[in-house]
Amino acid sequence: MTAPGLSIAVIGSGPSGLYAVDGLLRKLPGVRVDVIDRLPTPYGLVRGGVAPDHQGTKAIVRQFGRTMGKEGVRFLGNVEVGRDVSVDELKGLYDAVVVALGAYEDRRLGIPGEDLPGVHGSWSFVGWYNGHPDFAGLNPDLSRPGAVVIGNGNVALDVCRILAKTGGELALSDIAPAALAAIQAGAQGDIFLAGRRGPVEAAFTPAELGELGHLSRARPVVDAVVLPEGVGDVDGREKPFKEKNLELLRGFAAGDGDQPRRIHMLFWAAPVAILGTDRVEGVRFERTRLEGGRAVGTGETFDVAAGLVVSAIGYRTAPLDGLPMDGGVVANADGRVAPGVYAVGWAKRGPSGTIPTNRADSLAVVDLMAADLADAAGGKPGGAALDALLAERGARVVSFADWEKIDAAEVAAATDPCPRVKFATVAEMLAATD
């Protein structure tokens, strides 16, 4: 099928949006796709979420860049849907709209004290050290000892690792310079990584967990008492990962490195209150046990002193006018949201899965779109009409060529082995496009 008359808007230039673009170009040759992003920089969480010391993972942007450079594809950066243009307007202008806007609100802990200064959701904290312009001014106070990271997934591991690494270990990274300086000068010392369930239930992947065992100034500490004999009755596909995690944790429990800092891994510990009056001073945990697959409190509590708390317990998609919501995601049936509107990625299925998970997911939605659009006549006004609307509203649209200038300037500002020095603010990014 060819689709020379069709125009499609994709909201969000992260992995799910760009895998969808790739699929659309293959399934609907001749289609025109406009990729809209609220930031002047593309690639979503690959730039703003994936840890700055995981440059190998970030290399996927080369593939995404090729997709962006294909005929029929345009990048409209610095255009926020909900501010510069509405979902309903996009529905009127394009034959289909793909919602790929990710999940950007931290899930709340729902416990007393969580709004005290010094408590941060992982989205803002990770965004700060990753140079996301929304968080350039976060300036977390790292002047007091003790850091608690709440969560038992890879994001929690990332936060611990970045707090624990030396400047030398972060040389080959694109961490925001201000964050690097603040973390290196900080007094956080020991770090407590807490999960409300046990070592087998933790969502860590072995590669990320293993990295904790190779830090030059910190070593993970695990109480061997919490480690079970085996992983028990878990899903067959997950079993090898869980077994590897357990093996790594056994190694941590037996380890005795002389690094000055400790990363204490607390399992079966549910936070019940953030302690402090004017700012965070610690976290009260309740010990838990597994009952019918759920972690339930035992009534026994203990406190950990901390000057910094980062919660990494998941994300929700922020509601956007014109999109029905279902809990923390855009309401959808296999990606169909409403006639002509589709959802992919974290906005569709919630914050789970790695970058490649989004590929299969987006391609499945593209299959549905191709079927739905098979008889579409096309002919909606498309990109030219959006350009006119944005010009009328005074929007400063960043094209892909503009992004390439930002990219080149960031790379040029870096000294080997640092791959790039990110601009801290949107104003600086826009200045680089002149």
Ligand X SMILES: Cc1cc2nc3c(=O)[nH]c(=O)nc-3n(C[C@H](O)[C@H](O)[C@H](O)COP(=O)(O)OP(=O)(O)OC[C@H]3O[C@@H](n4cnc5c(N)ncnc54)[C@H](O)[C@@H]3O)c2cc1C
Can you give the binding site for ligand X, defined by CB under 6 A? 11-17, 36-39, 44-45, 49-50, 54, 57, 80-82, 100-102, 126, 155, 158, 320, 345-347, 353-355, 358
Residue 101 contacts residue 317 (beta carbons within 8 Å): yes
Could you identify the residue written with the tokens 């294909």? Answer: 70
Q: 18 vs 265, which CB is nearer to ligand X?
A: 18
Q: How far is the CB of 224 from ligand X (least distance, A)?
A: 29
Q: How far is the CB of 128 from ligand X (least distance, A)?
A: 12
Q: How far is the CB of 393 from ligand X (least distance, A)?
A: 14
Q: 47 vs 420, which CB is nearer to ligand X?
A: 47
Q: 44 vs 271, which CB is nearer to ligand X?
A: 44
Residue 269 contacts residue 288 (beta carbons within 8 Å): yes
Cis check for the bond before 177: say yes or no (omega within 30 of 0): no
Q: How far is the CB of 111 from ligand X (least distance, A)?
A: 22
Residue 194 contacts residue 312 (beta carbons within 8 Å): no
Q: How far is the CB of 98 from ligand X (least distance, A)?
A: 10
Q: 173 vs 358, which CB is nearer to ligand X?
A: 358
Residue 183 contacts residue 142 (beta carbons within 8 Å): yes
Q: 3 vs 90, which CB is nearer to ligand X?
A: 90
Q: DSSP 3-state helix, strand, coil percentages of the chain (rounded to 5)?
A: 35, 20, 45
Q: 267 vs 346, which CB is nearer to ligand X?
A: 346
Type of residue at 254: A
Q: How far is the CB of 190 from ligand X (least distance, A)?
A: 22
Q: How far is the CB of 262 from ligand X (least distance, A)?
A: 23
Residue 310 contacts residue 122 (beta carbons within 8 Å): yes
Long-range contacts of 388-391 (CB under 8 A, 24+ apart): 389/85, 389/89, 389/93, 390/76, 390/79, 390/84, 390/85
Start-end of H helices in 186-234: 206-211
Residue 144 contacts residue 308 (beta carbons within 8 Å): yes
Closest CA to 334 of 304, 306, 311, 368: 368
Q: How far is the CB of 165 from ligand X (least distance, A)?
A: 15
Q: What separation in angstroms does the CA of 7 have from each of 340, 378, 379? A: 11, 7, 8
